[in-house]
Amino acid sequence: MKRLLTAPVVLTFCGLLPAPAATTEDVLSKMDKASSLFNSMKSEITRVTYTKVLDEKTTESGTISVRKVGKDLQVYMEVEKPDPKIFAFRGRKAEIYLPRIKTVQEYDVGKQGSLVDQFLLIGFGTTGRDLKASYGVRYGGDETIVGQKAHKLQLTPIDEKLKERLESLTLWMDPSGEYPVQQQFVESSGNYYLFTYSNTKLNPGLTEESLKLKVPKGTKREVLK
């Protein structure tokens, strides 16, 4: 009789044991597998900018669309509040449309772009192998971001020159490994940028045309050098 009573007790106890914790390699492996699946996405976005010398935060909100074309990513980000503007990225070319002054500013992301311009796309279809090649990577556990579970990855640049500008980068990856739910970039100056993505829709049918910057006639264009 004892054996018959013990078995279900053991089974019940085993069922209560937590699942083994994920490791850094588990999350990176998931990203490797998911990279080829990422095609496009559209999301609401909130960007918080912190300026250390002023101890000041500013918040912008809008929408972002990302489309993968080969190894490149095309981005169309429309900031709606508080100061309307549109960003369009294609390869190394970036354009910003400022509707209040009817001006488009065009520049090379690699030459004139900010750290945010250069690293914003990390996590969108990125492989774990690519992350390990450029950063020290540590899994920081799972957190809930805007009601969604996310794998937290803490990244430290390997390149010494990059370390002079970028202190750390943190990604909160969707459990699928395809895209980030949140990103934080901390500059060596202490300034940081926090991007949060919500209401994300995967593969929403984005086209080349839908991500092109369209502006009214008479808009002035400036090429930054």
- Asked, for residue 183, whether it belongs to a domain, the answer is yes
pLDDT digits (tens, 9 = 90+) for 186-202: 999 999 999 999 999 99
Is 4 domain-assigned? Answer: no
Tell whether the torsion through CA atoms of 139, 143, 146 and 149 is positive or negative. Answer: positive
Residue 130 lies in a domain: yes
16 assigned to some structural domain: no
Model confidence, pTM? 0.85
Question: Would you say residue 129 lies in a domain?
Answer: yes
CATH number, domain of 177, equals 2.50.20.10
What is the extent of the structural domain holding 39?
Answer: 23-223
User: How far is Cα 129 from Cα 138, in angstroms, rounded to an integer?
Assistant: 14
Residues 6+ apart with CB under 8 A from 211: 65, 67, 74, 75, 76, 88, 90
Total domain count for the chain?
1
- For 11-33, b where at least 16 C-beta lie within 10 A, e where not — what string? eeeeeeeeeeeeebeebbbbbbe
Asked whether residue 176 is assigned to any structural domain, the reply reads yes
pLDDT digits (tens, 9 = 90+) for 97-145: 999 999 999 988 766 455 555 678 899 999 999 999 999 999 999 999 9
